[in-house]
Structure 1
Amino acid sequence: MAAAGSAWLLLRNTILSGGVAALGLCVSGAAGAQSSVTLYGVMDVGLNYRSVAGADPATGKAAGSLALASGNELTSRWGLLGLEDIGGGYKVTFKVESGFSADTGAGNFSVPFPNDTNSLFDRGAIVGLIGPWGSVRLGRNWSPFFDGISAGDATGYMNFGSLANATFQNASNLNPSLGLAGVASGANSAANGGLLYTWVNKSIKYMLPDNFYGFSGGLLYSLGGTPGSFSNKSTMSANLNWTNGALGIASGYFDAKDPTGQTNNPWLRAYTIGTTYTAGPLKAGINFVKFRNPTTGANQNFYYVGAAYQASPAWRFTADWLHLQDLQNSSAGANLYKVGAGYALSKRTMLYTDVAFSDNKPKGMLGAGSNTSILTSPATIGRNQWAVGSGIRTVF
């Protein structure tokens, strides 16, 4: 009878687990006494204005644009996070995350290149094991390089005018022969390069355990899966961060082969190091990041300074400066300046306004404002640009 009872309990728990997944009872819903599945997400929508955003179809002259846009500061997204305690200090985890445009309801299924167009979980899909020694996660992982560079951004690595603009506007994935069209879309666009630096398909990621003497970090390797070549389309990334609460040091490294698999050439390479310091309501930071492509010769340095000030429980102010030094083409340098303010209506919901200005050299095309707009419509070469974003964001 004891065996029959155990079998019945196992069957019951299996049915309950399936029911939770099927019915979407994910708001910290328990599939068992030591298991949980949590639904989370972000909705961010607002007005977005950019000067010199493209050509007026009637006159052909450079003109500004005003749009209702999703993801001015944070990409709109939803996800599921699962944890199962299997005893002995071990847990099984999974996480899936999908981005979407809150202004249209459309999913972000068209990017990134090259292997997951039309993917449902464009922002990651992993399953793994957590133990006293750390964790191992398999699937489409956040890169350790992202873990390092985002930790070095004192204002939060937001879409609008922060260190994220370096990741999504660097030239390391560009093909010079494609001109401006190749920057905005296609296999060699800046968008695809930035996304490839952020998420890595077919990857194995090890992460240090939490509270490891102030250190955090990880090591990732992606197998390209090409017959006869283990290195073709492969990616390696690593990071190591440290904090004592007030002072933080962050670093990251990334090295990827040609993502198309047509060659075995080194393609996307980057490293970053930065530090942040928190003193009461003020958090400030500096960061250096280099992006290279040995195949095309692209070689860019970005220098970043940022600060965030929590003036009251409701009011938060930010300021960012990003300097681009182009070592391949000195006339393609630029500076990006941004100030922002946010007012919290509640713990979940915030109103925000950001203003940014990009000062470009004759061949520079660093865009101001949100990456979600810049990536599909980059700044006009050699022209300065103003950008304003204002909207509402809620998290759940």
Structure 2
Amino acid sequence: MGPPRAAPHKETHVKKKILAAMPLALCMAGAHAQSSVTLYGIVDLGVDYANNVVNGANGQFVQGSGGHLVQMQSGVPAGSRWGVRGTEDLGGGLSAIFRLESGFNAATGGLGGGLAFSRNAYVGLKSEQYGQITLGKQWDASVDLIEPYSLNGNYGGWYFSHPNDMDNLDNGFPVNNAVKYVSPVIAGLQVEGHYSFGGQAGQFSNNASYSAAAAYTLGSFSAGVGYLRVNDPFTSVAGYGSGGSYVNAVYGNALANARYQGILSAGTSYTLGSLKLMFDYSNVDFSSGDGSHDLHFQNYEISGTYFITPTFNVGAGYTFTDGLDHASDQSPKYHQVNLITQYAISKRTSVYAMGSYQHAAGSAENAQIAGFNPSSSQNQLVTRVGITHSF
């Protein structure tokens, strides 16, 4: 036997391993440079005072109950949420995108609606030239393009929405099982649309929804129009249906009975320096909401925001809601005034104070600001102080 073979030199062996691994490492580095995943969120908490709120049971008033209410509430001017969003560059101006977003109750730690991702859960493709198409749980086109013309879409959120967010212009619900298209902005114009599958065998339209909207911006001026239809709204979306301790005195019965909820909305805004003026309108129809007859509402809102300093701003608005029950010819009406002041302590943290007052008129017997049970009278006042932090 010859002499034993010498072991390879340790340094030479290490160099070979490094050289062999370099192509893989370069590949991974390139993939990382073309992809990104971002964790983000908002935490909003505040203390509310409401002058008159009744109690409810099984979706009905508890007679003789109620009074003033002091509570801690999460997610009012901005819904408390956390999420992850990501993109992967596929080349040629095409990217894969996704978003998973969950609302939560910062006061208790509870999940929004008891769902893992109560706000958004979608995946899709985005083209710089042709726009993007996504599949999953997401906002409808009117939320994206028309809500920004409302005060609740800029400041104030939930409590500033039209009575019980009947037109979903405060994104009270996303749509499930949806295919959605968003165009690129071309010469100031953007269009969107979605279709949500009902998913019932032999009943293609049951629980389905669809929307379309367009918005145009030219310098300081912007305007948009949109339409949303939700079939069988009581079962197809998580709207403001009466049940348990909650009572929707504005349109709860109509929502439970409606064959569909149709919403035509439009808005416009004009920015002049630190001042932004807005107007929006919505026409809401609960088809067959009262027997074989419709319950119909129209909302008119005028509002504005003003930056007194770069860190201190105010917002104010007035909404008039005019309703008509075609079964009884009754006409419920609501007047609501909203006000908010907000101070930015830093780029991510703000403190604020806000208030809403609503007066019910016509055949409406109970005022009801969104987020609360009705008043036992035709008037309701809500005030709030809070803090918002984004990450």
TM category (shorter chain) comes to: 0.7 to 0.9
From 112, 122, 143, give the equivalent of 1:126.
122
Distance 1:196 1:280 in 2: 28
Match of 1:208 in 2: 183
- SS of residue in 1 equivalent to 2:117: coil
Structure 2 residue 304 is the aligned partner of structure 1 residue 307: yes
Question: Of residues 383, 387, 390 in structure 1, which corresponds to 2:382?
Answer: 387
Counterpart of 1:337, as a letter, is V
Tell me how far 1:84 sits from its aligned partner. Answer: 0.8
**Aligned pairs for 1:159-238 within 5 A:** 159-162=157-160, 164-166=161-163, 168-170=164-166, 198-209=173-184, 211-238=185-212
- Report the CA distance between 1:266 and its aligned residue: 3.8
Please state how far the C-alpha of 1:160 moved relative to its aligned partner.
4.6
Q: Distance in 2 between matches of 1:344 and 1:157?
A: 13
Contact 2:177 2:196 in 1 (8 A): yes
Kindly state the Cα deviation for residue 107 of structure 1 after the two structures are TM-superposed: 1.0
Cα distance in 1 between the residues matched to 2:62 and 2:364 = 26
Aligned ranges 1:1-396 → 2 under 5 Å: 8=24, 13=28, 32-54=32-54, 60-109=64-113, 118-131=114-127, 132-154=129-151, 156=154, 158-162=156-160, 164-166=161-163, 168-170=164-166, 198-209=173-184, 211-259=185-233, 260=235, 266-296=259-289, 297-328=294-325, 330-361=330-361, 362-368=363-369, 371=370, 373-374=371-372, 377-380=373-376, 382-396=377-391
Query: 1:199 is aligned with what amino acid?
Result: P
Q: Which residue of 1 aligns with 2:247?
A: none
Tell me how far apart the structure 2 counterparts of residues 352 and 230 of structure 1 sit (CA, whole Å): 46
1:379 Cα deviation after fit: 3.2
Unaligned runs of 5+ in 2: 1-15, 237-255
Give the Cα–Cα distance (whole angstroms) in 2 for the partners of residues 237 and 158 of structure 1: 25
Shift of 1:78: 0.6
SS of corresponding position for 2:303: strand
Aligned length: 339
Q: In 2, distance between residues paired with 1:194 and 1:134?
A: 23
- The CA RMSD measured in Å over matched residues stands at 3.0
Q: Identity percentage over the alignment?
A: 29
**Residue 333 of structure 1: SS of its match in structure 2?**
strand
| Aligned partner of residue 32 in structure 1, secondary structure | helix
Equivalent-residue separation in structure 2 for 1:309 and 1:364 (angstroms): 35
Distance 1:158 1:392 in 2: 12
Evaluate the alpha carbon distance shift between residue 355 and residue 124 of structure 1 in structure 2; reply closer, same or farther with a 3 A threshold: same
Shift of 1:223: 1.2
Equivalent position amino acid for 1:363 in 2: A
Which whole-Å deviations, capped at 9, do the CAs of 1:272-305 have from their partners, x for residues lacking one? 0110000000001111101111121110001001
Q: Is the 8 A contact 1:143 1:197 kept in 2?
A: no
Q: Contact 2:317 / 2:337 at 8 angstroms: preserved in 1?
A: yes
Contact 1:202/1:223 (8 A) holds in 2: yes
8 Å CA contact retained: 2:105, 2:112: yes
In 1, are the aligned partners of 2:54 and 2:62 still within 8 Å (CA)?
Answer: no
Q: Which moved more, 1:193-202 or 1:98-107?
A: 193-202
Q: Aligned partners of 1:319, 1:31: CA distance in 2, in Å?
A: 48
Over 3 Å counting, the alpha-carbon distance change for 1:336 and 1:305 in structure 2 is: same
- If the length of structure 2 is used for normalisation, what is the TM-score? 0.79
The secondary structure found in structure 2 opposite 1:273 is strand
Structure 1: gaps spanning 5 or more residues = 17-29, 110-117, 173-192
Whole-angstrom CA distance in 1 between matches of 2:346 and 2:172: 34
Checking the alignment, whether the CA contact within 8 Å between 2:119 and 2:174 is kept in structure 1 is yes
Question: Quick check: 1:257–1:264 contact (8 Å CA) kept in 2?
Answer: no
Indicate conservation of the 8 Å contact 2:143/2:171, yes or no.
no
Determine the structure 2 residue equivalent to 1:181. Answer: none
Secondary structure of the structure 1 residue equivalent to 2:147: helix
Residues 1:62 and 1:197: Cα distance change in structure 2 (over 3 Å): closer
CA deviations on 1:86-106 (whole Å, 9 max, x unpaired) are: 110011100011001111111
Distance 1:284 1:121, change over 3 A: same
Supply the AA of the counterpart residue of 1:334: Y
Any idea what the Cα deviations from partners look like across 1:130-165, whole Å, max 9, x if unmatched? 011000010001100212331212561632543x33
- Alignment partners' CA distance in 2, 1:69 and 1:196: 18
Q: Secondary structure at the match of 2:145?
A: helix
